[in-house]
């Protein structure tokens, strides 16, 4: 029987690359996101290439009712999720804390922390029942180190770091693995979103060095997800070779 991988935020970047990598490995997919057209397009493209089944669920992870209603609407056999990739997330703004925008703060906290919690709260009981599963939380190097103008984003990812640790403790009796993945700079739509689609500012983030790609992260996640049953990578920080920590880059 094919395994099922559920990926939140599959319409772009790391999530989309995960969908492509897991499809290639023969997993059936549940892909989610707010941009419905992108989900349909991805579903169409992947089904054209790979002999797999895909369910697209169009919801906002910030809305607990939408999360529960959509996930609970899955046919029973689709609830046998083997891998959950909690990827949906964003940074909004790069202002110092005394100039921060409440809307940006709400969006980051509601998506990165509460959204991840709502999705996990719905799916983990299904894994617990079957005594098997793997949750991969996309945290960030920003969850390990705080940088200027990133207090709230970093705080939201520190929360993910703590939630991953707590989740692992609560889930360990049920044979559920929890892996916390902390990428450094990955070139996706992330910086475009952070800088409100200001392309010059977004491009400057990745200037002078070779950033990671969504595919690099997807391959790393696939590695974590395909280790033997008794092996779990708990925490993983991955950066481009030119990035030493959250703020130190070697730019040519």
Which residue, 128 or 246, has its beta carbon nearer to ligand NAP?
Answer: 246
212 contacts 239 by C-beta, under 8 angstroms:
yes
28 contacts 53 by C-beta, under 8 angstroms:
yes
Q: Measured from the CB of residue 171, what is the shortest distance to ligand NAP in angstroms?
A: 20
The sign of the dihedral angle between the CA atoms of 40, 41, 47, 50 is: negative
- 3-state per-residue secondary structure call for 182-241: EECCEECCHHHHHCCCCHHHHHHHCCCCCCEEHHHHHHHHHHHHCCCCCCCCCEEEECCC
Which residue, 144 or 168, has its beta carbon nearer to ligand NAP?
Answer: 144
Q: Measured from the CB of residue 166, what is the shortest distance to ligand NAP in angstroms?
A: 18
Q: Measured from the CB of residue 230, what is the shortest distance to ligand NAP in angstroms?
A: 28
Q: Measured from the CB of residue 11, what is the shortest distance to ligand NAP in angstroms?
A: 4
- In the complex, the residues that contact ligand NAP under the rule CB under 6 A are 8-15, 33-35, 60-62, 87-90, 111, 115, 138, 140, 183, 185-186, 188-190, 193, 214
Q: Measured from the CB of residue 219, what is the shortest distance to ligand NAP in angstroms?
A: 14
The answer to whether 153 is a known catalytic residue is yes
Which residue, 134 or 144, has its beta carbon nearer to ligand NAP?
Answer: 144
**What whole-number distance in Å separates Cα of residue 113 and Cα of residue 90?**
11
234 contacts 241 by C-beta, under 8 angstroms:
no
Which residue, 131 or 208, has its beta carbon nearer to ligand NAP?
Answer: 208
Which residue, 33 or 133, has its beta carbon nearer to ligand NAP?
Answer: 33
Catalytic residue among 153, 174, 209, 223: 153
DSSP state of 243: B
Q: Is 252 exposed, middle or buried (0-12, 13-18, 19+ CB in 10 A)?
A: exposed
Q: b/e string for 64-97 if b means 16 or more Cβ within 10 A?
A: eebbeebbeebeeebbbbbbbbbbbbbbbbbeee
**What whole-number distance in Å separates Cα of residue 195 and Cα of residue 187?**
14
List, by residue number, the catalytic residues. 153
């Amino acid at each position: 029987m094919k395994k099922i991988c559920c990926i939140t935020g599959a319409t772009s970047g790391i999530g989309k690359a995960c969908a492509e990598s897991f499809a290639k490995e023969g997993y059936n997919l549940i892909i989610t996101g707010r941009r419905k057209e992108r989900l349909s397009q991805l579903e169409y493209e992947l089904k054209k290439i790979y002999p797999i089944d895909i369910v697209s669920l169009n919801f906002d992870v910030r809305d607990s009712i939408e999360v529960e209603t959509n996930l609970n609407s899955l046919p029973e056999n689709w609830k046998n999720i083997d891998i959950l990739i909690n990827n949906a997330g964003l940074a909004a703004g790069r202002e110092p804390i005394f100039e921060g925008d409440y809307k940006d703060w709400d969006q980051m906290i509601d998506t990165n922390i509460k959204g991840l919690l709502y999705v996990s709260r719905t799916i983990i009981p299904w894994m617990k029942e079957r005594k098997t599963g793997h949750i991969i939380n996309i945290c960030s190097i920003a969850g390990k180190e705080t940088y200027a103008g990133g207090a709230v984003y970093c705080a939201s990812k520190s929360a993910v770091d703590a939630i991953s640790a707590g989740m692992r403790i609560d889930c360990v009796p049920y044979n559920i693995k929890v892996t916390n993945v902390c990428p450094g700079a990955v070139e996706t739509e992330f910086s475009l979103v952070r800088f409100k689609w200001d392309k010059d500012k977004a491009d400057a983030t990745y200037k002078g060095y070779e950033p990671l790609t969504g595919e690099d992260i997807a391959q790393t996640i696939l590695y974590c997800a395909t280790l033997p049953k008794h092996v779990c990578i708990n925490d993983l920080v991955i950066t481009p070779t030119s990035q030493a920590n959250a703020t130190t880059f070697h730019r040519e």
